[in-house]
Structure 1
Amino acid sequence: MEYINEKEKIAVYNTDCVELAKSLDDESIDFSVYSPPFANLYTYSDNLADMGNCANDEEFFNQYKYLIKEKFRITRNGRLTAIHCKDLPKYKNRDGAGGLNDFAGAIIRAHEECGWTYHSRITIWKDPVIEMQRTKNQGLLYKQVCKDSAYSRQGMADYIIVMRKCVYENNVPIAREGKERFYDYIGSSYLAPKLDKGALVRDKEETERLYSIEVWQRYASPVWFDIQQTNVLNTALAKDGKDEKHICPLQLDVIERCIELWSNEGEIVFSPFMGIGSEGYQAVLQNRGFVGSELKEGYFDIAVANIKEALERKRSILDMPF
């Protein structure tokens, strides 16, 4: 199955991501952002092509590198890919000892083996209390830190790993028309920099410049504290009860920031693990084209519906009188 909207430069497919990537032209993608399967932590479907259906990390990365190599070929020279990931838990009964697996580091090394250059790492703050309530992990329990803190640990953050294709320099700058780079803010409204309306009236150019600088200072932080953790697409309909065990959509704030920072309007954003379409939904709202693939039919159907909803939202905004 597929959904193609040539006018909006959208093409999404219910197919294997490696097969889709192989069919794309060299340097046809301007930016990619996505969450890969977290090795064998979750099983999303019973399809043999699902990379989550693997016995161990080695098997997962052997399969994942086929995509990484194709992604390198299809990405414009000098441009970026952003991969959402986290540390993975180790279990005593499965791994011999409890602990954490540096999944982000393994992703970096796999990309470097395929020609990419390590560009940046963003830590996304997560509430350890919510993690403790959800997982009941021994290391996060207050009674454990009182009993024996040798078993206590910090909560698990999310990461955005950014890799760059450095074969040649970027010959299409990513920049807004006009003098300043940022005119708005993506993230929690409680922590957003405040635009001084009085100063805006007195000196519009200087106020916009200072506001843009402050927004960049927030985005340039190696830790993003201001992501709204619940700002995700509705996942209720994505659960079919037959083979789906877990779904963890990426926050729309994160996707929006990455697209804003690392692509221009009208360019093509790629997500090889589209899920329910979060990256496509956000790309449409930010006036980008989108190419995506999703192996599971149930998720694909919802992704198409979400992308169509984004198109309707964009049309309604354009039709609003100003």
Structure 2
Amino acid sequence: MVIDQHNGESWIMYNGDSIEILDGIPDESIDYSLFSPPFSSLYTYSNSERDLGNCKSDEEFMTHFRFVADHLFRVIKQGRLVSVHCMLIPAMKERDGYIGLKDFRGDIIRLFQSVGFIFHAEVTIWKDPLIEATRTKALGLMHKQLCKDSSMCRQGLPDYIVTMRKPGENQDMIAHPNGLTSYAGTDEIKSGTYSHEVWRKYASPIWMDINQTYTLNKNGAREEKDERHVCPLQLQTIERCLTLWSNPNDVVLSPFAGIGSEGYQAVKMGRRFVGIELKQSYYNCAVQNIERVSTAPKQKELFA
């Protein structure tokens, strides 16, 4: 059921349940999907029973998330890709009965493989462990634990972009005839050497240079009564994924659009966008963010 929707010149945002709205999207109409799902039960996003973040267990989360994966396999064109932003999830004594890590990243890969996707690519995004330690107070990152007994110490948790491919031949090649040029960069050199350096950066298995603070403003989406976590995906990460795995004018889908980061960057880069967001305050913020960047000269048919 669609609670609300807002159309722009090259985009549309739906306020409602992802699984229900995905059911209405035509088969093989989406060129690329990029999103950050709820991280199982790690964070509380809202008080809605429809919110995947409110599942009672990791097993229940994956049962529900499978409906999303099934729909994504149906709506993505053959040979095209879905990128999922994720991380390993800390296991906590009070919630899980032990202190350790849960392989949320691997669970997502195995789930998408089970519905038909091919594991295509993965990039690790470096994050500062000091910032994580300050924010989470995780025992394994505390300096005092290092001094006391380092058997419980661990490394910080990076982000991952896991990319899955739908089998079949891509009918619309994503060509870069002049090589890669950094869309968001300040260096305007277009030489072959520069293109090769950008390719090396994008092809690296670890992105060390992602600015963690280069995100959309999340303050307008906060609701005190139920909000515990707002962490928008970095615009630099979105830009690189869109450059590698989509063409201008492609339809990009985010079934967990949040405050509209993927839509903002997609429209900015000349793509079309379909976003779905359950939480009203996030949806309102997403509409404002995408409207702000939308400069398309005329209305485009989303599924032309």
Q: TM-score, normalised by structure 1?
A: 0.88
Give the corresponding residue for 1:175: 175
**Correspondence 1:146 to 2:147:** yes
Distance in 2 between residues matched to 1:77 and 1:137, nearest whole Å: 42
Give the corresponding residue for 1:282: 265
Deviations 1:250-275 (A, max 9, x none): 00000111011100000100000011
| 3-state SS, counterpart of residue 14 of structure 1 | strand
Distance in 2 between residues matched to 1:84 and 1:109, nearest whole Å: 15
Superposition misfits of 4+ residues, deviation over 3 angstroms: none
Shift of residue 48, structure 1, vs aligned partner: 1.5
| 3-state SS, counterpart of residue 54 of structure 2 | coil
Give the corresponding residue for 1:39: 40
Shift of residue 183, structure 1, vs aligned partner: 2.4
Give the corresponding residue for 1:4: 7
- Matched residue type, 1:172: D
Gaps of 5+ in 1: 198-206, 316-322
Deviations 1:11-51 (A, max 9, x none): 11001111111101111100000000000111211212111
Deviations 1:142-171 (A, max 9, x none): 2322221101110110000000001x1112
Gaps of 5+ in 2: 298-304
Distance in 2 between residues matched to 1:102 and 1:297, nearest whole Å: 30
**Correspondence 1:270 to 2:253:** yes
Shift of residue 108, structure 1, vs aligned partner: 0.2
| 3-state SS, counterpart of residue 46 of structure 1 | coil
Distance in 1 between residues matched to 2:80 and 2:225, nearest whole Å: 39
How many correspondences in the alignment? Answer: 294
Shift of residue 186, structure 1, vs aligned partner: 4.4
- Matched residue type, 1:48: E
Superposed, which structure 2 residues align to 1:54-65 within 5 Å? 54-65=55-66
Distance in 1 between residues matched to 2:232 and 2:181, nearest whole Å: 27
Cα separation, partners in 2 of 1:186 and 1:122, compared to 1, 3 Å: farther
Question: What is the percentage of aligned positions where both structures have the same residue?
Answer: 49
- Matched residue type, 1:2: Q
Decide whether the 8 Å contact of 1:275 with 1:299 is kept in 2.
Answer: yes
**Correspondence 1:239 to 2:222:** yes
Distance in 1 between residues matched to 2:46 and 2:148, nearest whole Å: 41
Decide whether the 8 Å contact of 1:31 with 1:75 is kept in 2.
Answer: yes
Deviations 1:47-93 (A, max 9, x none): 12111110011000100000100000000100000000011111112
Q: Decide which moves more: 227-236 or 131-140.
A: 131-140
Q: Decide which moves more: 140-149 or 53-62.
A: 140-149
Give the corresponding residue for 2:301: none
Deviations 1:262-320 (A, max 9, x none): 000001000000111000000010000000100011111110000000115x77xxxxx
Distance in 2 between residues matched to 1:184 and 1:38, nearest whole Å: 30
Decide whether the 8 Å contact of 1:186 with 1:257 is kept in 2.
Answer: no
Give the corresponding residue for 1:25: 26
Task: Say what the alpha-carbon RMSD is for the aligned residues.
Answer: 1.6
**Correspondence 1:225 to 2:223:** no
Decide whether the 8 Å contact of 1:228 with 1:253 is kept in 2.
Answer: yes
Decide whether the 8 Å contact of 1:32 with 1:271 is kept in 2.
Answer: yes
Give the corresponding residue for 1:69: 70
Decide whether the 8 Å contact of 2:183 with 2:239 is kept in 1.
Answer: no
Distance in 2 between residues matched to 1:224 and 1:102, nearest whole Å: 21
Distance in 2 between residues matched to 1:185 and 1:4, nearest whole Å: 26
Distance in 2 between residues matched to 1:257 and 1:246, nearest whole Å: 25
- Matched residue type, 1:4: N
Q: TM-score, normalised by structure 2?
A: 0.93
| 3-state SS, counterpart of residue 241 of structure 2 | helix
